[in-house]
């Protein structure tokens, strides 16, 4: 038996604290749990290894009234609001598959099945991207919290891509434009894919049925225990602490991930004032913008593999490499 918790609309803080608290309170004798909820208000959440100030414009978020939280599982910065249904699987680690790949395959099979039953060409792209027609429709993440393995995700009914693009801490306007355009191209929603999307309640029930089928166990409606409520409240205090939100490991990625295999980079030539904003899709230069060099010469690189820029392309920021190539051309402006 798997416990089902339908928690409805909750505060942004609680939408993250639920799985943190349930993970912390998990014991081998407690049932595995599937939670359905949605945030009542918009907010941003960054991954455990990120430093919020490195990836988001915190001043803009504050002026817009968007809270910024940080979670104890990895991944990138995400925008979340009431037009997204959250599903959260909290499983005792002794009952979870051994490998990360199998964990995702097991607990993301249900969202894929539920979307397919809506008539969508949904697929799980390993390890944890759910796509419809090659475009992401559901964000996912996972990790171990306490004695629990958690896999969490959301299905998008609608998505204000401009809000996320505006809040990114972008090094230049061309970088932001490439990132925003990439987001529009790589992300989809139920509203875009279906003439008449289901209600949130109908999708919740479809997901619950899919979990029961894919996991081979009945989902039984339940309630939070007093111990779990206390653990969730403790998680709220921890996640809301300013020191926790702002610390992070400060790991700086070379590029901004837009979707599976899609990144945007910013770089410059080592020997000249040539700056490059570059979007890469599955290892191929998808689009770019340059300053200080001939744009026609730069556009000739669109469609070329990043690996062709230099033998060491995998070890360097490709925007830097292209900047060096453009700086060495006689037609550089």
pLDDT (tens digit, 9 = 90+) per residue, 229-257? 999 999 999 999 999 999 876 666 678 99
User: pLDDT exceeding 90 applies to what percent of the chain?
Assistant: 89
- 145: Cβ contacts below 8 Å, ≥ 6 apart: 19, 20, 23, 24, 72, 73
**Which structural domains are found in the chain, ordered by start?**
2-246 (3.30.930.10), 261-327 (no CATH)
What pLDDT, on the 0 to 100 scale, is given for residue 329? 66
What pLDDT, on the 0 to 100 scale, is given for residue 270? 87
Q: Which residue has the tokens 């904003």?
A: 277
Residue 314: is its pLDDT beyond 80?
no
Instruction: Tell me what the mean pLDDT of segment 146-169 comes to.
Output: 96
What pLDDT, on the 0 to 100 scale, is given for residue 332? 46
What pLDDT, on the 0 to 100 scale, is given for residue 333? 46
When mean pLDDT is compared across 6-15, 60-69, 157-166, 266-275, the lowest value belongs to 266-275
Q: Where are the alpha helices (DSSP H) in the chain?
A: 12-25, 52-55, 58-64, 100-107, 109-117, 161-167, 173-186, 190-193, 200-215, 226-240, 242-246, 295-299, 318-327
Q: In what order do the strands lie in the sheet with 284-291?
A: 256-259, 262-268, 275-281, 284-291
pLDDT (tens digit, 9 = 90+) per residue, 289-313? 999 999 999 999 999 999 888 776 5
d(CA 73, CA 174): 31
What pLDDT, on the 0 to 100 scale, is given for residue 308? 87
Residue 145: is its pLDDT beyond 60?
yes
Angle at 272 between CA 271 and CA 278, to 5 degrees: 100
Contact criterion met (CB below 8 Å) for 286 and 279 = yes
């Amino acid at each position: 038996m798997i416990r089902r918790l339908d928690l409805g609309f909750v505060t942004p803080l609680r939408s993250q604290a639920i799985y943190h608290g349930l993970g912390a309170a998990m014991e081998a004798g407690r049932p595995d749990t599937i939670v359905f909820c949605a945030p009542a208000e918009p907010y941003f959440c960054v991954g455990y290894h990120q430093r919020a100030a490195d990836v988001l414009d915190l001043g803009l978020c504050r002026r817009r009234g968007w809270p910024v939280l940080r979670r104890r599982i990895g991944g990138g910065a995400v925008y979340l609001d009431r037009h997204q249904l959250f599903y959260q699987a909290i499983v005792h680690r002794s009952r979870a598959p051994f490998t990360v790949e199998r964990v995702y395959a097991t607990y993301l099979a249900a969202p894929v099945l539920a979307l397919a039953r809506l008539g969508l060409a949904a697929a799980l792209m390993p390890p944890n991207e759910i796509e419809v027609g090659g475009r992401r429709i559901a964000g996912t993440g996972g990790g171990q919290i306490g004695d629990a393995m958690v896999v969490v995700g959301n299905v998008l009914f609608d998505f204000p891509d401009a809000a996320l693009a505006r809040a990114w801490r972008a090094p230049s306007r061309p970088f932001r434009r490439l990132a925003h355009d990439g987001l529009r191209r790589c992300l989809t929603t139920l509203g875009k894919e279906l003439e008449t999307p289901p209600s949130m309640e109908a999708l919740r029930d479809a997901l619950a049925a899919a979990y029961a089928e894919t996991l081979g166990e009945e989902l039984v409606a339940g309630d939070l225990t007093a111990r779990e409520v206390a653990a969730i409240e403790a998680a709220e205090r921890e996640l809301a602490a300013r020191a926790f939100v702002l610390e992070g490991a400060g790991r700086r990625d070379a590029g901004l991930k837009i979707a599976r295999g899609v990144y945007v980079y910013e770089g410059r030539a080592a020997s000249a004032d040539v700056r490059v904003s570059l979007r890469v899709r599955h290892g191929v230069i998808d689009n770019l913008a340059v300053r200080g060099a001939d744009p026609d010469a730069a556009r000739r690189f669109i469609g070329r593999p990043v690996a062709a820029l230099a033998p060491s392309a995998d070890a360097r920021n490709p925007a830097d490499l292209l900047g060096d190539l453009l700086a060495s051309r006689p037609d550089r402006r």
